[in-house]
Amino acid sequence: MAESENTRVLYQCSCGHQMELIEDIGGQCQECGHVVSPKLLNHDLATTMTLGTLPTGPACGGTLYFENSKLETDPVEAAKLEAAMVGREFGHFKIIDPLGTGGMGHVFRALDTSLRRYVAVKILRSGVDATKESSSDGDIEMLLQEAVSQARVTHPNIVTIYYVGKHEEAPFLAMELIIGKTVAELVEDGPMPYSQLHSIASQMTSALKFSHELDIIHGDIKPSNIMLQQNGIAKLSDFGMARRVSKAEKKSVGGTPNYLAPELMQGDTPSIQSDMYALGVTLFEMTFGRLPVTVSGRTVEQWLDCHQQAPVEFPNPWPEHLAKGWQEVLSRLLAKDPADRFSSWAAVEEALEQIEPAAPIPAKRVPRLVAAAIDCTLVGLLIAPFQILRGMPAVEEYLSQSTLTAIILLLFEFGAIVAYTTLVMFWKQSPGRKLMHVRVVNEHGLTVTGQRMGTRSLMRMIVMWFITLANVSSETGGWADFAANLVLTSAVVFTLLDIGVMMLYHHGRSLHDLVSKTWVVLDTE
C-alpha cells in the first residue's frame, strides 16, 4: 500500500514529544527513543488515552491525534521489575506482591504497617522502572486527580482511597484492596447471567448518581475499572479521567476509545450522558461478550467513522433468558445522540427497577389447584349455555339438518374459550389466580409476556378445548364418535399428567409450567 493511502497519525509520546506517524508503519520518538509499533494505535483503542480534538473534528484530512501515557512493555521484563519491588517500602506501605499493570503504572498488594491492614498501592511507572524518565507532570496530575476525585466520593460501590504521597520522587496512592476479579476478566469466560448483569448495573448507577451529586464525571467507565468482590458487591475505580461537571470544557478528552461517547470524539463537552454511553457499552459487553458495534476497516479513521455511525447490533430474536426491558435500557444508554439517552441517573435507576429480577415465594400446590378449578369452572359457565342449547331436542334435530348452523354454534363455543384466553394474555392474570393471590412469572421473577401467557393458558385449558370438540364430534356417531372419545381421553390423561408432575416435582411446577418456562408464585404486589 502506498504511503499516501495510509492514515497519518499525530502521536504524542509519553515523554511529551509529538510526531507524525503512518499507522501501518509506526516509527520512533526522536526525543526518548521509544519505538512505536504499527499495532500500537489499534491496541490503544482498548486502553485509556487522551484524544485531542482537532479544529475540524476528530478526523481532519486523514490525521488523528492521540496522547498516550502507556508504553509497550515486555511482559517478562515487567514481571522482573515487579518482583524486584517486593519488600520495598513506600512510606508506611510495604510491598507484598504485584496485582497488575494499569495505564499509568503498576498496582501491588501492600501492608499498611501503621494500621496493620492490606491495601492496594498504585505506583507510577518511573517508580518501578529506574530506566524510565521521571513521571511527567501530566501523569502526576492524573494520579493526584484520581486520588482527590475518588477520595471525595465515599460510596459502598466506589473503591476507597486511603493515602496519596511520594517516595523517592515516585508518586503513589494507597487504596482499598478488593478481593475478586475485574468485570473484564469475568467477561472473558462469556456473557453473564441476567441477575448478575442487573445487580452490577444497579450498583454502578448508584455510584455514578452519587458522583454526579458531587459534581464529578468519571470519564473512563469500562469493564477493567469495575471490580466484583466475592460477595457480589461491585466497586468502581480509576477516577484518573474524572472532572467536575460544572468545569467540563471542550478540550482534549480522556478515556478509552471503545467506550467513548460519539459526541466526545467530535469535541463536545463531557457530561453524565457520556458516562451513560460508556456504561452502556460495558453492560452490552457483559451481556453478549462483544462490543455493540462491529468495526469494519483497518484504519483509526475508519474505526471512528464506524463507532459514531454504525447502529447497535442487538441479537434478533431477543434471547429469552433476558428481560425484554433490558434491551430498551441498553438502547437508550447507547443512543448516538446524548439527548436520546436518560436525562439523569435517577431515570436510569427507575428504568432498572422496572426490570429487576425478583426472588418471589413459590405458590403452594393447594392454592394452585383451587385457582385452576375456579378458572375451569368459569370457562365451563361460558360454554354451558351453548351445551344446554345443543342438548334441546328441537335444536338437536335442526342442527342435524343444517351443517352451517352447527359450525356457527361450534365457533361460538370455541369463541368463549378464546375470549377467556385473550383476557389472560392481556391481563397477565386469571380470575382464579387473582382470587387465590398467586401470579405467573418468568425465570427472572418478572411478569411474563402476553405471548407466553397465552401459550400457557392454551395448555392449561386443554381439557376444556377437547371437551367441546368431543361433544360436537360425538353427535355424528360412528368413527367420529370413537375419535371424540379418544380425544377426550387424551385430554384427561394430559390433565392428570399435568397435575401429577406438579404434585411430584420438588418445586411444585406443572407440566405446562415446564414447557412454557414459567413459575407460579405468591402475589405480594
Which residue ranges make up the annotated binding site for ATP?
A: 122
Q: Say what angle helices 450-460 and 403-427 make with each other, to 10 degrees.
A: 130
Beta strand spans in 84-242 (E): 89-90, 93-101, 105-112, 117-124, 161-167, 170-176, 180-182, 216-217, 226-229, 234-236
Q: CB of 201 within 8 A of CB of 258?
A: no
The number of residues in the chain equals: 525
Residue 256: closest CA among 2, 48, 398, 51? 48
Q: CB of 379 within 8 A of CB of 419?
A: no
Residue 54: closest CA among 300, 247, 233? 300
- Binding-site positions: 122
Question: Which pairs count as long-range contacts for 471-476, CB under 8 Å and 24+ apart, including other chains?
Answer: 471/387, 471/390, 472/406, 472/410, 472/413, 475/390, 475/396, 475/399, 475/400
- Residue 220 φ/ψ, nearest 5 degrees: -150, 50
DSSP 317: S
CB-facing half-sphere around the CA of 280: CA atoms within 13 A: 30
The identity of residue 250, as a single letter, is K
Where on the phi/psi map is residue 277: left (φ > 0), alpha (ψ -120 to 50), or beta? alpha
Name the residue with cell 430474536: 317
